[in-house]
Amino acid sequence: MNEMDLVRLNFNPQSLWTLNVIIGLVMFGVALDLKVADFRAVLVSPKPVLIGMLGQFVLLPAFSFLLVLAIHPSPSIALGMLLVAACPGGNISNFLTHYARGNTALSITMTALSTAVAIVMTPFNLSLWGGLNPETSQILKAVALDPLEMLLAVFLLLGLPMAAGMWVGHRFPRFVARAHRSVKLFSLAVFGLFVLGALAANWQYFLKYVGFVVFAVFLHNGIALATGYFAAKFAGLPERDRRAVSIEVGIQNSALGLILIFNFFDGLGGMAIVTAWWGIWHIVSGLTVATLWSRRAPSEPPPRPFHG
């Protein structure tokens, strides 16, 4: 067994409870912007969203499995990569899509739907692809991962806060119009500070093992962005939709991944380090790609607005 697979990061139960509350707050803040019409848009124009879901929950986990076989990282890093690939889209994707001159409404719809679908698909994909790799399957067996227990955890972390945020947004629209931006920024800032604090508490591990992780995450994230873009291109979607799907598949909810690691894998070092670094790197890569796209208008005329 690799040395990193034996590392357990410093993370006490009180910190885990705090992290659970923080991600719930983040999801609540994001959901204040969501409307039932965002989900209804899937019925009106389903193709772009279906392509995005295909990239998010089928192609990316499958390509991640192949990447793990190709570069052969330690089992805990490999399982961390598979977990990241099994997570839904990250919350910053909507801002990045808007900045990239992509289809922002499509991005919002995909984020909302992928978060809802992840309640089932995240445990399923981790169990499926992690179980197919003999080395990562040993970790799954060692922790006796129960997909139903994980499904319940994802529902509590994502489903309930999202439902509560949408209800508050519908019930108190004037308050939300004034406060939603502040709530979202505050929740994301608190999460960012928490991650920095956890990183500082485990700095010696990060410095010792980050070298290969940087390489793995660079490749993995590049594959994710390319998977979304070319899946949309092959499906004949316009450029604005390609940009939205690319960013949505390339920006993963690594915060959810970290919570699952500390809830179910006892802070397993390789998993936590690769997931934490992904959370940093996908912002850098996402901003870089979005900046390049922002300087070039989509080649096709803008399609009809993506409304429900």
Write the CATH number for 89: 1.20.1530.20
In three-state secondary structure terms, 300 is coil
- Record the tokens describing residue 24, joined without a space: 């719930």
Decide: 233 and 88 in contact? Cβ < 8 Å: no
> Is 14 within the bounds of a domain?
yes
Q: Which has the closest alpha carbon to 168: 6, 279, 30, 302?
A: 30
pTM (2 decimals)?
0.75
How many independent structural domains does the chain possess?
A: 1
Cα–Cα distance list, 29 to 26, 169, 176, 182, 274 (Å) = 5, 10, 10, 9, 26
Determine the structural domain holding residue 93 and report its residue range: 3-294
The conformation of residue 156, written as its DSSP 8-state character, comes to: I
Q: How many CB atoms are located within 10 Å of the residue 234 CB?
A: 10
> Is 303 within the bounds of a domain?
no
Helix axes of 254-264 and 269-294: crossing angle, nearest 10 degrees = 180
> Is 8 within the bounds of a domain?
yes
Q: How many residues does the chain have?
A: 308
- Would you state the pLDDT for residue 308? 44
Q: Which has the closest alpha carbon to 56: 215, 224, 237, 263?
A: 224
> Is 109 within the bounds of a domain?
yes
> Is 192 within the bounds of a domain?
yes
Q: What is the pLDDT of residues 216-264, one digit of tens each?
A: 999 999 999 999 999 999 999 999 999 999 999 999 888 788 878 877 8
> Is 304 within the bounds of a domain?
no
Q: What is the dihedral of CA 194, 200, 205, 206, to 10 degrees?
A: 70
256 vs 158, higher pLDDT: 256
> What is the C-alpha separation between 166 and 164, in angstroms, rounded?
6
> Is 299 within the bounds of a domain?
no
Q: What is the pLDDT of residues 5-58, one digit of tens each?
A: 555 555 554 555 666 677 677 777 767 766 777 667 666 778 999 999 999 999
- Record the tokens describing residue 16, joined without a space: 């885990």
- Would you state the pLDDT for residue 9? 52
> Is 216 within the bounds of a domain?
yes
